């Protein structure tokens, strides 16, 4: 199919043999861009200069950075794009900088755990709504790209959280596509899984909210950086927490914790 979607983690683990093959076959490479920084057109130009061999990966690494993503991912991505002659498009996200900052900020003020869980779910629902706006907009951008580039192979690289939403909204736009996962199965941290489900209108329960918070606590306790977290590290934590009862999970929020 002309349009291929590739869902992955934002780490070098994304660059599997399948991705390399998809990239080699593609004529257009469409990359997500989380929010309207005011620099998207400039960054898109840099990507295309890199693709044409007019900029080096080292130059792009100095000119572009993302504090939320593993720098090793971008180094690998820049090396792959360099001199390959692919047309590179960047997502035009409808989200503002202030919206992104707000949706990433979660504060718990209540002493009561259930009040904090309700506040947490509300914040995640707000963030899921923002991600839905992105995916609805991105689906329309991809439809337009397919219409203006008939028959050309287009590869989209997107974070795993967006799989459910983007696929649904592409179908609503009558866009045909093939979908690929960097790993099968492709686990997500529990908070990301919740966001993915809330985005398409599914509900989550109390245990799942507890799991997301406790998982975050365990990641910090073990010294894992979310930007460089490996799949095996996440799975190890999730398997251990799956054995705990809801009462056991609640103990993480007891006195002295």
pLDDT, one tens digit per residue, over 98-138 is 888 887 777 777 678 999 999 999 999 999 999 999 999 99
Q: What is the pLDDT at residue 194?
A: 98
Supply the pLDDT for residue 1.
60
**What mean pLDDT do residues 19-34 have?**
97
Q: What is the DSSP letter of 14?
A: G
**224-239: pLDDT as tens digits:** 998 899 999 999 999 9
pTM of this prediction?
Answer: 0.93
168 is in which domain, residue-wise?
A: 3-253
Report the number of distinct structural domains present in the chain: 1
User: Could you give the C-alpha distances from 79 to 15, 20, 60, 84, in angstroms and in order?
Assistant: 12, 12, 10, 10
**pLDDT confidence tier of residue 67, bands split at 50, 70 and 90:** confident
pLDDT digits (tens, 9 = 90+) for 87-101: 999 999 999 988 888
- State residue 174 phi and psi, 5-degree precision: 60, 35
Distances in Å between the Cα of 37 and the Cα atoms of 51, 78, 242 are 22, 20, 39
């Amino acid at each position: 199919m002309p349009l291929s979607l590739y869902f992955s983690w934002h780490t070098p683990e994304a660059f599997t043999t399948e991705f390399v093959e998809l990239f080699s076959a593609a004529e257009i490479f469409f990359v997500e861009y989380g929010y309207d920084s005011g620099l998207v057109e400039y960054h898109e130009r840099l990507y295309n200069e890199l693709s044409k061999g007019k900029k080096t990966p080292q130059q792009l690494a100095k000119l572009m950075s993302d504090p939320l993503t593993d720098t090793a991912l971008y180094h690998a991505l820049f090396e792959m794009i360099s001199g390959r002659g692919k047309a590179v498009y960047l997502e035009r996200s409808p989200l503002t900088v202030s919206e992104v900052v707000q949706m990433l900020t979660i504060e718990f003020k209540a002493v009561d755990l259930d009040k904090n869980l309700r506040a947490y779910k509300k914040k995640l629902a707000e963030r899921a709504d923002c991600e839905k706006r992105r995916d609805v907009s991105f689906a329309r951008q991809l439809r337009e790209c397919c219409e203006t580039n008939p028959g050309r192979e287009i590869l989209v690289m997107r974070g795993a959280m967006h799989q459910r939403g983007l696929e649904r909204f592409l179908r609503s736009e009558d866009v045909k596509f093939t979908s690929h996962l960097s790993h099968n199965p492709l686990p997500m941290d529990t908070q990301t899984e919740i966001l993915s489900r809330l985005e398409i209108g599914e509900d989550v329960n109390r245990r799942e909210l507890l799991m997301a918070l406790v998982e975050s606590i365990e990641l910090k306790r073990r010294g894992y950086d979310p930007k460089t977290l490996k799949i095996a590290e996440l799975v190890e934590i999730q398997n251990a927490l799956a054995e705990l009862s809801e009462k056991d999970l609640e103990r993480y929020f007891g006195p002295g914790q």
